[in-house]
Structure 1
Amino acid sequence: MIDPVVAEITVPRTPTEAFVGFTAQMGEWWDPMLSPDPATFTGISIDPNGPVASVHGDEEYVWGRVMNWDPIGHYTQEFWLGHPEEEATVLDVRFTEAPEGTLVRLVHSGWMPGTEELRDKYTHWGDLLERYAAHVS
């Protein structure tokens, strides 16, 4: 296995508030440039029991599936934005109480041998977490 991509940030919210900001409000802080069609990006749709999709007007591009939805502190999804669904990786995000709010730790794992170049394209999680933190702060 290839090492996961790990990013973390602390936000001034409770774990549940941080979870809601990360999941239900993802479309508000996600960078449209990281979507299938930045010019038409209008948000992200997450079904707690199913797909994760970029919304582009009336179109949805599914690029994940929720695996674990626990508003008390844990979100996991299959992830295949930018690569085939059959090569899905895993996003695991934990929300843990910290002295100044909540530590949000994202681990993007499941990289298989031969996907090193693809993995190298997913170093933007720190930037995305900065956008997320600005949104929930």
Structure 2
Amino acid sequence: MSLDPIVAEVTVPVTVTEAFVGFTAQMGEWWDPMLTPDAATFSGIAIDPNGPVAMVHEDEQYVWGRVMEWDPIGRYTQEFWLGHPEDEATVLDVRFTEAEAGGTLVRLVHSNWVPGTEEVREKYTHWADLLRRYAVHVS
């Protein structure tokens, strides 16, 4: 088992700013409801650029992160503890750069895994699938 960062990338046919907005403000529209506490009641994701990141299920919010950096022209970073304790928070760092062939390259790095979290890390196999859902949403 590994503690290496998990990396996933996708190129989307929109500007850097549009890619950023699609990833952050519209995350609840492309996130897979099956990766939430209750798919049937999932209604979105609430992100406070200066605070918490939460799954929204009807009137309930389940906080699973905290924004660390919010830069609409290139970077979104958050503490991440979905599926593991907050005191073992990992880091989700997403960079948005102009792609050589046009559009925007979105590079997601899920890091900060510490000894003892190897089994938790092994469960995070969905980033590439989520980025494909995101790409369809913003395209």
TM-score category, normalised to shorter length: over 0.9
How big is the alpha-carbon RMSD for the aligned residues of Structure 1 and Structure 2? Answer: 0.9
In structure 2, list runs of 5 or more residues that go unmatched: none
Structure 1 Cα separation of the partners of residues 4 and 125 of structure 2 = 12
1:1-137 counterparts in 2 under 5 A?
2-98=3-99, 99-137=101-139
Structure 2 Cα separation of the partners of residues 36 and 61 of structure 1 = 9
1:38 Cα deviation (Å)?
1.2
In structure 1, list runs of 5 or more residues that go unmatched: none
Structure 2 Cα separation of the partners of residues 127 and 52 of structure 1 = 20
1:93 Cα deviation (Å)?
0.1
1:62 Cα deviation (Å)?
0.3
Structure 1 Cα separation of the partners of residues 63 and 74 of structure 2 = 24
Letter in 1 for 2:102: E
1:114 Cα deviation (Å)?
1.4
Letter in 2 for 1:20: V
Structure 2 Cα separation of the partners of residues 66 and 114 of structure 1 = 24
Structure 1 Cα separation of the partners of residues 11 and 119 of structure 2 = 29
State the TM-score, normalizing by the size of structure 2.
0.97
Question: Hey, which bits of structure 1, 4+ residues long, moved more than 3 A?
Answer: none
Structure 1 Cα separation of the partners of residues 62 and 35 of structure 2 = 12
Structure 1 Cα separation of the partners of residues 38 and 84 of structure 2 = 15
State the TM-score, normalizing by the size of structure 1.
0.98
Structure 2 Cα separation of the partners of residues 34 and 78 of structure 1 = 18
Q: Secondary structure at the match of 2:21?
A: helix
Structure 2 Cα separation of the partners of residues 61 and 125 of structure 1 = 20
1:50 Cα deviation (Å)?
0.2
Structure 2 Cα separation of the partners of residues 62 and 36 of structure 1 = 11
Listed one character per residue, the Cα deviations across residues 59-84 of structure 1 (whole Å, up to 9, x for unaligned) are 00000000000000100000000000
